[in-house]
Amino acid sequence: MSFVQSMDDFAKIRFTGAVYTPPVIAEALVAFVKDIIPEKNKLQILEPSVGDGAFLDELTLSFTKDQFTVVDIDSAAIKELIHRIKQPSNPVSFITKDFIEYSLPYIKNDTRPFDLIIGNPPFIRRHNFSDDFKETLDDFSKVSKYPLKDLKNSWAAFLVASARLVSNTGVVALILPYELMTVDYGQKVLQTLADEFIRIDIFVSNNKAFPDIDQDAVIFVGQKNCVTRGLYIKHVESLFDLTSPHIYKLDLDSQAGRGLEFNAFLLPKLTLNLLRELRGNCYTIEHYAGSAPGIVSAANEFFILKKSEVEALGIENYVIPILKKGSFASYKPIFSSEDFSEIEKKEPCFLLNIKDDFATLDKNLQNYIREGELKELHLRYKCRNRRNWFSVPIVPRELGFFFKRSHSFPRVCLNEAEIYLTDTSYGLRIKNGFSIKGLCYSFYNSLTLLFAETNGRFYGGGVLELSPTEFRGLPLVYHEPTLDEFTKFLLAHELARGDVEKILDFGDQWLQQKLKLSDEQMVMIRQGLTSVRNHRMRHGRRRFLIEGIV
């Protein structure tokens, strides 16, 4: 079977979660659980989303005396499997059903029939759930008493359901997305399961589990019966080989925050202690500034026009200048009027800002709005909820902004051009006693950027994303620069031309002086940043090429 997916396959995957497991990973995981599962006469083994049977093939080789149940919502997949596995040596029950629905009666009656639940559940985001699945999740949330709002992806429901179906001596072993450790609902499910399992191991690899898709994966192994207790990260070279891991015991209640804790396996102990101490002694960005996402138009391709289009329609009085993330190509931490002049030559950067009712508008504008209606834009959820669907709510301009997503490193910029922002950026509202220049100057150093790596989340492609809350939670040592210092700061960025090392050389120098850190301590922080950043970016190229994220 080929693991190279076509674009059609990618679209299908979003709704079915059908990325089949490389047999070498199934083999490694089955070998691992074989060693830890308590001895029993006839083990009851469940694969909740069997797909093409990668695990079943391995299981039947290793667990020759045991009983299998395999479930999949896809009847074609089950039929194919029945056809392929004509005469299994062990009895297999094949079930075509939604696994969450299948789990409901067991959870209701608190029967825990399985000794081992193993597999690769589908990774389907909430906005791609079918109506049936949404309804089932609603029931599941009530029966399992697990909050519906925290079931934002199908894998989370599969994990909770598996934990409720496994026996009091059993094992759950699932391939899960890396976001288990980075998103809030992933950390919450781990917190809950940490009370239900005696021991949890999460295998994190340097190499990518599914080479041709953006999703990065980890392996979760929960044991209900074990002599050692706790939640451990096992850092391995690849998920094909689960032996000889580097092991780190997690403390979910750590004062330094869960973000740092989930990255602690990448950091030496001394660095970790130093970071915890500094984190405890620093104010966070929240102390200096508020932040809020920019404008949501609900149809950027319609509402944001090129200068030439605005001129052709003669609607100059109905537009305001706006910056889209993809347009910002400058190395500098400052967005100037000259930068905007460059962008307006070729990119759409004027947002329709219509306050009046349709009847009072120019003919050209009325015609343009009608074109939008022909494309059914007025039926989109956000547009429907406006008094006039074409009146986009405007978020005020701020003196600076931060891009929600970044590749090489996150950036705070001065809004010298006084443009508006789309929701790919957060506007920065400076609090009394501080300045946007001070915030910008104080942001670019190894300490703040390291916490940006650990507080945010990254996707399979390695794109770093921070929510407004995560951004405001970053520790920041504030320095109000003199005019001379700020000029030098801008020059350093200009000369660096996006080279993060050169930018950090500048930022770390004043940070070291300000915090009176030794050379060794400064090196520890810088190396810590390199380590977590390299881990994020370790296999990101494909995604950046597709999305043009820099």
Ligand X SMILES: C[S@@+](CC[C@H](N)C(=O)[O-])C[C@H]1O[C@@H](n2cnc3c(N)ncnc32)[C@H](O)[C@@H]1O
Q: Which residues bind ligand X (CB under 6 A)?
A: 16-21, 49-52, 54-55, 71-74, 77, 98-100, 119-120, 122
What is the C-alpha separation between 331 and 361, in angstroms, rounded?
40
Query: Phi and psi for 315 in degrees, rounded to 5?
Result: -115, 35
How would you write 92-114 as a 3-class SS string?
Answer: EEEEECCHHHHHHHHHHHCCCCE
Closest CB to ligand X among 55 and 232?
55
Q: Which residues make Cβ contacts (< 8 Å) with residue 237, sequence separation at least 6? A: 205, 206, 207
Task: Show the beta-strand stretches assigned E in 226-282.
Answer: 230-236, 246-249
Closest CB to ligand X among 56 and 463?
56
DSSP state for residue 401 in the 8-state scheme: E
- CB 245 within 8 Å of CB 236: yes
C-beta of 137: minimal distance to ligand X in Å?
10
The per-residue b/e assignment along 201-237, b for 16 or more CB within 10 angstroms, e otherwise, is bbbbbeebbbeebbbbbbbbbbbbebeeeebbbbbbe
C-beta of 38: minimal distance to ligand X in Å?
24
Structure tokens at 424: 């790919």
C-beta of 127: minimal distance to ligand X in Å?
15
Closest CB to ligand X among 72 and 201?
72
Closest CB to ligand X among 137 and 522?
137
The alpha-helical segments, DSSP class H, found in 345-460 are 363-374, 381-384, 436-443, 446-455
Q: What is the DSSP string of 75-95?
A: HHHHHHHHHHSSS-SS-EEEE
C-beta of 2: minimal distance to ligand X in Å?
14
C-beta of 57: minimal distance to ligand X in Å?
9
Closest CB to ligand X among 113 and 433?
113
What is the C-alpha separation between 380 and 54, in angstroms, rounded?
41
C-beta of 118: minimal distance to ligand X in Å?
9
Q: Can you give the C-alpha Rg of the chain in angstroms?
A: 26
Closest CB to ligand X among 186 and 348?
186
Closest CB to ligand X among 219 and 419?
219
Closest CB to ligand X among 74 and 344?
74
Residue nearest to ligand X (CB): 51
> To 10 degrees, the CA torsion angle through 159, 175, 122, 77?
-120
Closest CB to ligand X among 119 and 170?
119
- Measured in whole angstroms, the distance separating CA 298 from the mean position of its chain's CA atoms is 22
Question: How many residues in total does the chain contain?
Answer: 550
C-beta of 132: minimal distance to ligand X in Å?
9
C-beta of 139: minimal distance to ligand X in Å?
13
Closest CB to ligand X among 54 and 529?
54
Q: What is the DSSP string of 15-76?
A: HH---PPPHHHHHHHHHHHHHHSPP-SS-EEEESS-TT-HHHHHHHHH-TT-EEEEEES-HH
- CB 437 within 8 Å of CB 483: no
C-beta of 54: minimal distance to ligand X in Å?
4
C-beta of 222: minimal distance to ligand X in Å?
17
